Amino acid sequence: MPKAIPAISYLRTPDSLPAAPIYAVFGDEEWLRRRALRTLTESLTRRGLDVRRIHDLESAAPLLDELRSPNMFGGALAMVVVNHRQGPRHEASTRFKEEFAAYIEKPSRSNVLVFDAATWQRNLTVPKRVEERFPTVCAEEIKPWDHGSWEQLAQMQAAEHGISLDREAVSALRDAVAGSLSRAEMEISKLALLSKGKKVTAPDVAFACGYEGTDVTFALCDAILTGDSKTALRHAAKMAGKAETGSILSLLGLLRLQVATLGRVALNLSRGMAGQEALAAGAPRAREAVKSGLLRTAKKVNRQALAGALGVLLAADEDVKSANPDPAALLISVVTRLLECLGCAKPEVPAVRS
């Protein structure tokens, strides 16, 4: 089976993809897949093809008949079929396996079929035959440790807006968007408007992409995880002014995940693992910005402290569901008691913002 072309390689040299009657663009990284598909359809348009997108294919026969038909009154066509499984409904390449398999054996000489494959099971008949005979582009999910690939894509996004990112800005942006390329695209468009020069720096990212509004849930979780009690209580006070029962329950769930992560790293440290090894095993998706603080907190906690933190969260969960407490007061209380359990310094509790 010919090896699929990595999407990053394709985006660097799009002209390297040979002309063919069938293509497939697939992979788990949605932004990267969409970007590769856009580049492909733009190249097809430059070749004079009329690109049409088919979102919900109810029958393959009309589509394939149109692809096979000679173009009497216009240019060639490129049909982009969205190949996506939704619940129990299989993707088009599976539902119409026989029709597509027959077309693969004898495709049109002038028209082009493109699979936009959010779902692409490579061992099945149609994907396997397409990859055996025609060019395919694979948009694999960027691994958390693959900083080089993420930087390439971020710089590619920035170049479209006429700016570039210095190395510290790339790291700051990655932390701000939690590694999401789609969010990075939105933030870079904002940076292009707000930055004072062509070269974006880390302070520019901090100014434009910081936490905004009253929804500082993830900033609060980060502050607790890293033992920054002053910041944690400031965020808690900001959230408390608009706290509701539903939002408190969601926050308690997030905090339980944070305590569990902290517990795994602490357990790894107690087993004699080095700091970075303990982090990699216990918190593989931890962002660079929180790693040092997380490790510092993990070194201070023990089983008793972790059990106490979980007890605080379980008691708060029970209170919300049975006692109807004041959400603002409960939020401040939970954060304060969590910080105490985890051995963090306790500053003066700030006033709640309304």
- Distance CA(8)–CA(45), nearest Å, equals 21
User: Which H or E run includes 58?
Assistant: none
**Token pair for residue 196?**
């004072």
- Distance CA(184)–CA(188), nearest Å, equals 6
Confidence (pLDDT) at 215: 61
- Distance CA(5)–CA(25), nearest Å, equals 9
Largest Cα separation within the chain, whole Å, is 79
- Distance CA(136)–CA(25), nearest Å, equals 6
- pLDDT band at 33; cut points 50, 70, 90: very high
Interval 78-90 mean pLDDT: 89
- Distance CA(247)–CA(203), nearest Å, equals 31
- pLDDT band at 353; cut points 50, 70, 90: very low
Handedness of CA 17, 19, 20, 26 (dihedral sign): positive
Confidence (pLDDT) at 72: 66
Q: Which fold has domain 147-208?
A: Helicase, Ruva Protein; domain 3 (1.10.8)
Query: CATH classification of 217-341 is 3.90.730.10, yes or no?
Result: no
Whether the CB-CB separation of 96 and 22 falls below 8 Å is answered with no
Query: How many percent of the chain have pLDDT more than 90?
Result: 31
- Distance CA(136)–CA(114), nearest Å, equals 10
pLDDT in tens, 240-261: 767 777 778 888 888 888 888 8
Interval 16-38 mean pLDDT: 92
pLDDT in tens, 154-182: 999 999 888 999 988 888 888 878 788 88
Confidence (pLDDT) at 113: 96
Confidence (pLDDT) at 126: 94
- Please tell me the CATH superfamily of domain 5-138, with its number: P-loop containing nucleotide triphosphate hydrolases (3.40.50.300)
- Distance CA(181)–CA(71), nearest Å, equals 39
Tokens 């602490």, residue?
266
DSSP letters of 173-220? HHHHTTT-HHHHHHHHHHHHHH-SSSEE-HHHHHHHSS--SS--HHHH
Buried/exposed 60-93: b ≥16 CB within 10 Å, e otherwise: beebbeebeeeeeeeebbbbbbbbbbeeeebbbb
- pLDDT band at 276; cut points 50, 70, 90: confident
**Token pair for residue 280?**
């990699």
pTM flag (> 0.85):
no
State yes or no: pLDDT of 12 exceeds 70: yes
Give the Cα-Cα-Cα angle 199, 219, 225 (nearest 5 degrees).
115
Residues contacting residue 10 through CB under 8 Å, at least 6 positions apart: 16, 17, 36, 39, 137
Domain boundaries, the chain: 5-138, 147-208, 217-341
- Distance CA(303)–CA(346), nearest Å, equals 21
